[in-house]
Structure 1
Amino acid sequence: RVVGVTPARIERELAAGRVVVVAGFQGMGDEMEVTTLGRGGSDTTAVALAVALKAQACEIFTDVRGIYTADPRFTPSARLLRRIAYPEMLELASAGARVMHPRAIEIAEAFSMELHVRSSFHAGPGTIICAEEAIMEERNRVRGIAHEEHVARLSVVGVPDRPGIAAAIFAPLAEADIAADVIVQTASHEGVTDMSFTVSSTDGRQAERILAGVARDIGARTVLAQNGLAKVAVVGSGIRGQPGVAATMFRALSDRGINIEMISTSEVRITCIIHADRVKEAVAALHEAFKL
């Protein structure tokens, strides 16, 4: 986590007319030891420096032309977005789009730092990531489709329905640095409920071991695990309150015979968990259904 940036030396070199090259992905801890910023650290470094230097914008050069309405590898008709709002880009990144890391977008939004994402290999304007106010005409419509493969579902079955149970389940996962997503709890029946959520497939086995111990401690009946799943999401500011978006998404998947395993919503995203072998077809179907 970036807690501060000291740009004095960079500012001196810039004032002297020099071009400054800064190593991304790393910094110094409280004890002056060299540390790394983790996944997405290079993007995060660039945005944090832009904020500290009070730049007008931060330009991110990458191996793609910008942000697309869907993964062009899955959907050849995917369209390059000229502008996208911070919340939309954050949800796309969180749902699997890998052009920008969520941490970098969070910093940019917090400090209103405009981001320009463009290709290192092709000329072109790329995509501008900015405040919602700059693209109000695009509000309340789907802007893009994101997907993430290699998802596992874990279900804690027969959970006693009492205060503190959810914390007892998720706290050990957090301590193991395992992120849970798409959390669904069934209605309580005779004092028990079932709780299901998704994790990355790489964390699946460890999460299952942790939950086996938790289940014994809280008196749950069993823990079930399912691999071979994927996440597909439609993203757009304000779409949760927009009539027809969810129905269009579910109908598009149904028409292709794609079964929905789990559903989750936020203000700017509707996510479905499906079988991984249908994800490419699902992305194409949703892209067509929303006329992106």
Structure 2
Amino acid sequence: MSPIVMKFGGTSVADLERINHVADLVAKQAETSPGGVAVIVSAMAGQTNHLVSLATGAAGAGVVGENFDDEYDVIVSSGEQVTSGLLALALRKRGLKARSWLGWQMPMLTNDIHGKARIRDIDGEAFSQAVGSGEIAVVAGFQGRTKEDRITTLGRGGSDTSAVAVAAALHAERCDIYTDVDGVYTTDPRIVPKAQRIEKISYEEMLEMASLGAKVLQTRSVEMAMNHRVPIRVLSSFAEVGADNSGTLVCDEDEIMEKQVVSGIAYSRDEAKISLLGVSNHPGIAADIFSRLAEANVNVDMIVQADARGPEQANMVFTCTERDSELAISVLQDAKSKIGFESIVVDRDVAKVSVIGVGMRSHTGVAKTMFDALSAKGINIQVISTSEIKISVLIDSSYTELAVRALHTAYGLDAES
């Protein structure tokens, strides 16, 4: 009898009314989970931003330095502590045995990189015994502790990552992540009203969708779930208690009976295209450029190298997030004399649109369908990037929604009206 892990984000626990609704959902789950229930919660909506503003204001000039980032984590992690206590109280009011657990109490052990710590282990014998005894454990997500007993926070998507880590430690049946949508869709329903909810999606597809712009799950949590083979179910916390709320199951590819050639269309507007023109074309030049960017923690995505007009010269084009573009340009300009290039051109009016599907491994013509559909709409492709289960193209940002709709139709993903 394996336990069930449930995770609720900030919008799901936004106020006392929402917390009471979550308590009803947890109580309902406990009725049918003889292996026990563990619940991971985020801070109430807006609380973390408020705590961050307090911390950065106290630190002066809105900057958190390495001499006090451990205290910053103490402050910003307190929002989850409040939520876990409130939910535990709400469950007790319903006659259930429940208690809150903070990251250091489990303990959830992390490295000592404050603000973006990575989980090393959950040394949780007492925690596991409590869940197995029938006590509902309400865990403050987003936080852990170092071996020196200092509080850490896990960074963006930290509560999702906490939930999957707890599920792995408990050998849970699955990890249910409750959010403000009722599952993973073939694309953004705000752009394509005919988008369909996906019943099952593989870890690999979900990882690609999350990294390519889908906002439902964070990549770190999906990576951890895939590594530990923890099934994740994405479902709505706004559904009525007892209503049909099957959501989307993220699982092994082998568990999906009939695989779609393309499962979904993702997009990202947080893109910048940087072109290094007239780069000296000699062995090691790419290694020199991208090692400098890596040392500056600039995450590079698409890369294209092409011959330039001049002799022994090339043009190097790559993409990164828009927020990293200024840093990337600064790093390269500072090393211009060492790298050897004529000029840098940056274009921030671009978007990345991707098609994802494990069925690509065994089907041909996927790229042709994509290129034909975009060509028919007069959309020019600037850069192309592929993997075994995805094709991404960079286009003018003004064509983003048109491209998403055209591709969704081209691959037969529109729901029948």
Counterpart amino acid of residue 175 in structure 1: E
Q: Bigger shift: 154-163 or 47-56?
A: 154-163
Q: Distance in 1 between matches of 2:333 and 2:283?
A: 20
Counterpart amino acid of residue 18 in structure 1: E
Match of 2:160 in 1: 43
* Residue aligned with 1:231, SS: strand
Q: TM-score normalized by structure 1?
A: 0.95
Which of 281, 295, 304 aligns to 1:175? It is 295
Q: Does 1:108 align with 2:225?
A: yes
Which of 274, 280, 286 aligns to 1:160? It is 280
The answer on whether the counterparts of 1:182 and 1:197 sit within 8 Å (CA) in structure 2 is yes
Counterpart amino acid of residue 347 in structure 2: Q
Written as runs of structure 1 = structure 2, the 5 A alignment for 1:239-258 is 239=360, 242-258=363-379
What displacement does 1:125 show?
A: 0.2
Match of 1:204 in 2: 325
Deviations along 1:205-242, one digit per CA (max 9) or x if unpaired, are: 12111111233211122221111111100000141663
* Residue aligned with 1:32, SS: coil
The answer on whether the counterparts of 1:232 and 1:282 sit within 8 Å (CA) in structure 2 is yes
What displacement does 1:65 show?
A: 0.5
Q: When the two structures are aligned, how many residues end up with a matched partner?
A: 291
Deviations along 1:243-284, one digit per CA (max 9) or x if unpaired, are: 211111111111111111111000011001111111111111
Q: Distance in 2 between matches of 1:205 and 1:188?
A: 24
Counterpart amino acid of residue 144 in structure 1: G
Q: Distance in 2 between matches of 1:215 and 1:136?
A: 53
Percent of residue pairs bearing the same amino acid type: 45
Written as runs of structure 1 = structure 2, the 5 A alignment for 1:142-291 is 142-187=262-307, 190-239=311-360, 242-291=363-412
Structure 1: gaps spanning 5 or more residues: none
Structure number with greater CO (CA < 8 Å, separation at least 6) is 1
Counterpart amino acid of residue 351 in structure 2: A
What displacement does 1:163 show?
A: 3.0
Counterpart amino acid of residue 231 in structure 2: E
* Residue aligned with 2:140, SS: coil
The answer on whether the counterparts of 1:69 and 1:143 sit within 8 Å (CA) in structure 2 is yes
Q: Distance in 1 between matches of 2:282 and 2:169?
A: 47
Structure 2: gaps spanning 5 or more residues: 1-117
The answer on whether the counterparts of 2:278 and 2:308 sit within 8 Å (CA) in structure 1 is no
The answer on whether the counterparts of 1:150 and 1:276 sit within 8 Å (CA) in structure 2 is no
* Residue aligned with 1:22, SS: strand
Relative distance call for 1:134 and 1:15 in structure 2 (3 A) is closer
Larger Rg: 2
Match of 2:175 in 1: 58
What displacement does 1:11 show?
A: 1.3
Q: Distance in 1 between matches of 2:148 and 2:274?
A: 39
Q: TM-score normalized by structure 2?
A: 0.67
